[in-house]
Amino acid sequence: MADLSRAARRVLGPLRPVLRPIWRRLRPAPPPAARKHVPTDTEPRKVKAIREDQRWLYFHEAPENQRISVLEGRHPGARVLLVATGPSARQVLPFDDRLKERYDVVVALNGSIAHIKSADYFLAVESHAHMWDWYYTPVPPTVTRCVSESGLRFARESGKPDDQPALLLLRHLYETPVDIRRYRNASGEEGLLNGSRGETLLGRGTVTAQALHFAGMLGASVIHVIGADLHFHGPVQHFYGQNEYGTHEV
């Protein structure tokens, strides 16, 4: 019997990568009572020590008047449209010149800024947004650019400085309750919400989570989103054709 077992392991061993996902699909699901959903934010998160020479990645160096916190309450009671970057956002393009008939504020996320002419705000939270052409899209004075402070430094160090006027932002993984109407919460934590999946249900691979916080901070009473397809594993991730990611899990 032992010889048979060893022989079976020799034969089946190389097939494990193929057989394992098949078995996972075929095995019966546990009864509902046995399933437990444990939110990722129920246990205290180990706070990673931040090196002094890396603090600029996590904390503002720019003065308060250069941060997006100056926009708090700028549009009280506004109807806000967030134009995200997924394939479905293409549906809004034919109506670009009519969006202001329905919305008080239009926010273009990432590469949508190159296609939405009615935008009031351009929001780019990525520290490495300078790697893509859309980041440098020229905008008129009527558009307020809101970009990552660390991203400005990365752009400068890459030899492609961002010279357009902008207000600066951080993304932040909150340890204490978030106030969606404020850029800084009661405990002094500061930045657009980059919470765990247990808090946002969106994960960290999408700018949409930060955009919702941004709209709330502006004073929105109604927030509509188009293009939040969470399409990271699809062949077409963004309606404008640039696929930045591909490995993020949402």
**Dihedral in degrees, nearest 10, Cα atoms 95, 98, 103, 107:** 60
pLDDT at residue 4 in the model: 60
Alpha-carbon distance of 215 to 26, in angstroms, equals: 44
Decide: 104 and 220 in contact? Cβ < 8 Å: no
Q: Which residues does 133 contact at the CB level (< 8 Å), separation at least 6?
A: 114, 242
In the predicted structure, residue 99 carries a pLDDT above the cut 90: yes
pLDDT at residue 155 in the model: 95
**Tokens 């969606």 correspond to what residue?**
180
Q: Mean pLDDT score of the chain, rounded to an integer?
A: 82
pLDDT at residue 121 in the model: 99
Alpha-carbon distance of 210 to 179, in angstroms, equals: 13
**What is the SS3 assignment for the chain?**
CHHHHHHHHHHHHHHHHHHHHHHHHHCCCCCHHHCCCCCCCCCCCCCCCCCHHHHHHCCCCCCHHHEHHHHCCCCCCCEEEEECCCHHHHHHHHHHHHHHHCCCEEEEEHHHHHCCCCCCEEEECCCCHHHCHHHHCCCCCCCEEEEEHHHHHHHHHCCCCCCCCCEEECEECCCCCCCCCCCECCCCCECEECCCHHHHCCCCCCCHHHHHHHHHHHCCCEEEEECCCCCCCCCCCCCCCCCCCCCCCC
**What is the value of pTM for the model shown?**
0.74
Q: How many Cα atoms occupy the beta-carbon half-sphere of 1 within 13 Å?
A: 0
Averaged pLDDT for residues 227-247: 58
In the predicted structure, residue 186 carries a pLDDT above the cut 80: yes
pLDDT tens by residue, 105-162: 999 999 999 999 999 999 999 898 998 899 999 999 999 999 999 999 999 999 999 9
